[in-house]
């Protein structure tokens, strides 16, 4: 009885005040924000522990009912820190104004989804606009003026029909204006001045603009006649002085080909190039799953298609890019390892067009309905194609079964994975798995073509990837065969592609797909060394006991607990293989060097040690800075505490940044397959 009273008292004292009038997840997001901002004293009433934002009148917070409607911390003297990782749960927030504070860092990628007003002006933000902004259907006012944003704008303005004011002025944005600007059908005020935009401004011609400032950029071409009667500031550009070509009557100006005589403005922007490449690419497979376990070494499969080239994509990141890798760690660390980042669809930057921006694979409820978008093969089909699964056609063997090369009568070559009978339950389970895998579609995920489920046999048919696995490439080829192709830039490209695949599984697929077996044997390479992650969605087929532990995160080895963070660890180990050329575990080495992680991680921040660790096959041909940034990413991923490992989106951003910087110092990635650069 006394105990009961104590409990009740406790509830009154502690539990009630925590939530009070405020929706618990709103309150939590604000507490986390306060903490992220280093608990600044000027935010009166705020606390990172308990408190009631709505009931207690937290400074700058306005509520409607129990939901937080407005946060206005404009000019309150915030300095450093971040806005926390729970912003996306502020689903009732319509006004968000933190302008004129010295925050620095990047704009957080997980912004509240239903904003009408977003004012981040004068916050010292670098990087680019996060993709979450492109999904804010209610957004009317967007102001990111007076920051240090750089790079090209992504083509991400398709779905902002209410946006009336867009202020990007006083940043360092480059490239042509994205085509989707032409779809900003409510835009009345646009401030683009004092950036480094190039090309023509034709995309703005048909907008209902009243005020337009494009001064002090590198625009060229002609000012569309439609814009001549509005309040227009256009000085400080290199406009064409000839007479403007009349727009074809009735034709929307935005569809006009770019003016032919623009100087640098006529260059195709990376964005539209990427968009086109994206359209070409966006023919891939399927859905999402979860599961258990892995396949392993030597599954080879592969490619009959050509795949996009990552490095041709616009890299101006859609999301916040960690300025310094160090800061990734201090930034946005979820409290629970399973916290799922918002579904971001950032990969859409290269695979979308407008129509399928929101098409995201969703794992349906259990159906056991035969998947329709893959081919159902018969046993005789596959027997003929593999010469009765002959040893000659055996190309790999993993823990869930063997992989055979198969060639059909029409010449098409595929990889057939013959799943061990012990690895799968009833036929219905298998069909569910096939159905889920068949929905996974990403340029860096191996594509399922078909399956066979007859006479108790279970087979999966994949595209065939000519170059086999990264493991084989790194560890089984010699100096004279294929290893020279693994230049530094190709290694970075492989890491980035694999990171994007994993980002897709973790953060785009819903629910998240845990791969459970991220290792170099599951990263296959196409003819251009573009990586494809294999065995996605197959985790449930393998018993935990079958797993090899070389790449396993410490918590997996200890407790068998798999999370997306254990995948991140496996990814870090794979990057370490790329850097050192060593196997995760190599019993032929001296004891202290057998475990790659144990040997390498203490040295990752030491430039001299790094130079000694790097794969000798690179023959010293790598940019030192790039190497050390690569090592920084690894160090984050292989941290023993899962909660400190970054989400894959941050890994992708860090690698994109690394590539951008490498490119900036005049190199290209992806084309120089035969030579690295010192
Ligand atoms: C935030 O407050 C400032 C003044 O403190 C005001 O000028 C600004 O309009 C407010 N922002 C919003 C979105 O209401």
Q: What is the Å distance from ligand 1's center to 144 Cα?
A: 15
Q: How far, in Å, is the centroid of ligand 1 from the Cα of 69? A: 14
| Contacts with 83 (C-beta within 8 Å, 6 or more apart), sequence order | 33, 36, 37, 98, 103, 108
176 against 81, higher pLDDT: 176
- Contact in structure between 646 and 575 (CB atoms under 8 Å): no
Q: Is 95 in the pocket of ligand 1 (CB under 6 A)?
A: yes
Ligand 1 midpoint to CA 566 (Å): 43
Does residue 298 have a pLDDT over 50? no
Determine the distance separating the centroid of ligand 1 and the alpha carbon of 88, expressed in angstroms.
Answer: 22
Same domain assignment for residues 213 and 99: yes
pLDDT at residue 341, as a whole number: 33
Q: What is the pTM of this model?
A: 0.47
Bridge-partner residues for 62, per DSSP? 70
Choose the final residue of a domain: 445, 464, 483. 464
Same domain, 505 and 428: no
**Ligand 1 test: best mutation among 75, 77, 97, 121, most atoms within 8 Å of CB?**
97
Tens digit of pLDDT for each residue in 424-480? 555 567 888 888 888 888 999 999 999 998 888 889 999 998 888 898 888 876 655
Last residue of a domain, which of 416, 432, 464?
A: 464
Residue 516 sits in the same domain as residue 392: no
> Atom 7 (ligand 1): residue with closest C-alpha?
74
Do 483 and 396 belong together in one domain?
A: no
481 and 442 fall within a common domain:
no
Question: Could you tell me if the CB of 165 is within 6 A of ligand 1?
Answer: no
CATH code, domain carrying 375: 3.30.200.20
Give pLDDT, residue 427.
59
- Pocket probe for ligand 1: among 69, 72, 77, the residue whose CB has the most ligand atoms within 8 Å is 72
Q: Is the CB of 117 under 6 A from ligand 1?
A: yes
Q: Is the dihedral of CA 355, 356, 357, 363 positive or negative?
A: positive
Q: What is the pLDDT of residue 161?
A: 93
For 443, the domain range is 366-464
Is there an atom of ligand 1 within 6 Å of 628 CB?
A: no
72 lines ligand 1 (CB under 6 A): yes
Give pLDDT tens digits for 363-400: 444 445 566 688 889 999 899 999 998 888 888 877 67
* Higher-scoring residue by pLDDT: 665, 493: 493
Is the CB of 61 within 6 Å of ligand 1? no
Work out how many domains the chain is built from and give that number. Answer: 3
Instruction: Specify whether the CB–CB gap between 66 and 23 falls below 8 A.
Output: yes
Q: Ligand 1 centre and the CA of 255: distance in Å? A: 39
Round the average pLDDT of the chain to a whole number and report it: 76
Same domain, 536 and 403: no
- Taking residues 178-185, what's their average pLDDT? 94
Q: Are residues 450 and 554 in the same domain?
A: no
Verify that 502 and 403 share a domain, yes or no: no
Nearest atom (ligand 1) to Cα of 117? 13
Q: Residue 656, class by beta-carbon neighbours within 10 Å (0-12 exposed, 13-18 middle, 19+ buried)?
A: buried
Q: How many CB atoms lie within 10 A of CB 675?
A: 11
Lowest mean pLDDT among 27-31, 99-103, 202-206, 309-313: 309-313
- Indicate whether residue 186 lines ligand 1 (CB < 6 A): no
CA distance 83 to 97: 12
Same structural domain for residues 373 and 517? no
> If DSSP codes are grouped into helix, strand and coil, which group holds residue 477?
coil
Ligand 1 centroid from CA 187, angstroms: 21
Q: Does residue 298 lie within any of the structural domains?
A: no
**Which residues on adjacent β-strands are paired with residue 231?**
211
Ligand 1, residue 141: give the atom nearest the CA. 13
Domain boundary among 221, 239, 257: 239
């Amino acid at each position: 009885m006394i105990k009961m009273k104590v409990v009740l008292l406790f509830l009154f004292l502690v539990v009630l005040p925590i939530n009070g009038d405020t929706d618990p997840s709103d309150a939590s997001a604000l507490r986390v924000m306060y903490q992220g901002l280093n608990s600044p004293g000027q935010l009166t009433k705020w606390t990172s522990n308990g408190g009631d934002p709505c009931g207690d009148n937290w400074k700058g917070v306005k509520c409607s009912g129990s939901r937080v409607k407005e946060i206005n911390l404009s000019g309150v003297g915030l300095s450093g820190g971040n806005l926390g990782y729970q912003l996306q749960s502020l689903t009732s927030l319509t006004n968000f104004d933190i302008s004129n504070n010295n925050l620095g860092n990047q704009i957080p990628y997980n912004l509240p989804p239903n904003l009408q007003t977003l004012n981040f002006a004068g916050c010292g933000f670098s990087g680019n606009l996060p993709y979450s902004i492109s999904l804010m259907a209610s957004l009317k006012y967007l102001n990111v003026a007076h920051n240090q944003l750089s790079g090209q704008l992504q083509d991400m303005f398709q779905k902002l029909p209410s946006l009336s004011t867009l202020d990007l002025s006083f940043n360092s944005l480059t490239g042509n204006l994205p085509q989707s600007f032409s779809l900003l059908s409510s835009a009345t005020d646009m401030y683009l001045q004092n950036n480094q935009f190039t090309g023509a401004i034709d995309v703005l011609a048909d907008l209902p603009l009243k005020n337009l400032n494009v001064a002090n950029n590198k625009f060229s071409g002609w000012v569309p006649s439609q814009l001549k009667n509005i309040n227009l500031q256009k000085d400080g550009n290199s406009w064409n002085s000839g007479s403007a070509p009349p727009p074809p009557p009735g034709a929307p100006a935005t569809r006009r080909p770019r003016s032919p005589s623009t100087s640098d403005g006529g260059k195709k922007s990376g964005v539209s190039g990427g968009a086109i490449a994206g359209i070409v690419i966006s023919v891939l497979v399927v859905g999402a799953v979860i599961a258990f376990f892995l396949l392993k070494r030597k599954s080879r499969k592969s490619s009959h298609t050509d795949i996009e080239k990552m490095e041709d994509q616009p890299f101006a990141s859609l999301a916040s890019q960690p300025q310094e890798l160090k800061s990734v760690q201090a930034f946005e660390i979820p409290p629970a390892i399973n916290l799922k980042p918002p579904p971001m669809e950032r990969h859409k930057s290269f695979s979308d067009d407008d129509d399928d921006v929101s098409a995201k694979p969703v794992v349906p409820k259990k159906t056991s309905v035969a998947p329709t978008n893959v081919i159902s093969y018969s046993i005789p089909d596959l027997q003929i194609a593999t010469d009765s699964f002959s040893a000659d056609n055996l190309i790999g063997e993993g823990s869930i079964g063997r992989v055979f090369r198969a060639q059909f009568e029409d010449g098409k070559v595929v990889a057939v994975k013959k799943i061990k009978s012990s690895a799968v339950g009833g036929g219905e389970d298998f069909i569910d798995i096939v159905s889920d895998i068949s929905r996974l579609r990403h340029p860096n995920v191996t594509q399922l073509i078909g399956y066979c489920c007859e006479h108790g046999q279970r087979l999966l048919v994949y595209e065939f990837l000519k170059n086999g696995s990264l493991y084989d490439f790194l560890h089984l080829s010699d100096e004279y065969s294929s290893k020279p192709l693994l230049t530094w830039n190709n290694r970075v490209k492989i890491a980035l592609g694999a990171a994007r695949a994993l980002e897709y599984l973790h953060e785009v697929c819903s629910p998240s797909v845990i791969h459970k077996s991220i290792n170099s044997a599951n990263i296959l390479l196409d003819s251009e060394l573009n990586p494809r992650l294999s065995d996605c969605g197959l985790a449930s087929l393998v018993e935990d006991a079958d797993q090899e532990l070389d790449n396993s995160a410490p918590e997996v080895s200890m407790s068998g607990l798999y999370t997306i963070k254990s995948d991140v660890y496996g990814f870090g180990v794979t990057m370490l293989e790329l850097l050192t050329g060593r196997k995760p575990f190599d019993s032929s080495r001296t004891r202290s060097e057998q475990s790659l992680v144990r040997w390498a991680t203490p040295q990752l921040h030491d430039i001299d040690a790094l130079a000694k660790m790097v794969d000798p096959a690179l023959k010293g041909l790598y940019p030192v800075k790039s190497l050390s940034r690569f090592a920084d990413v690894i160090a984050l991923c292989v941290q023993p505490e899962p909660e400190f490992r970054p989400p894959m989106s941050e890994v992708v951003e860090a690698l994109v940044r690394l590539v951008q910087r490498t490119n900036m110092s005049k190199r290209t990635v992806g084309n120089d397959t035969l030579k690295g650069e010192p």
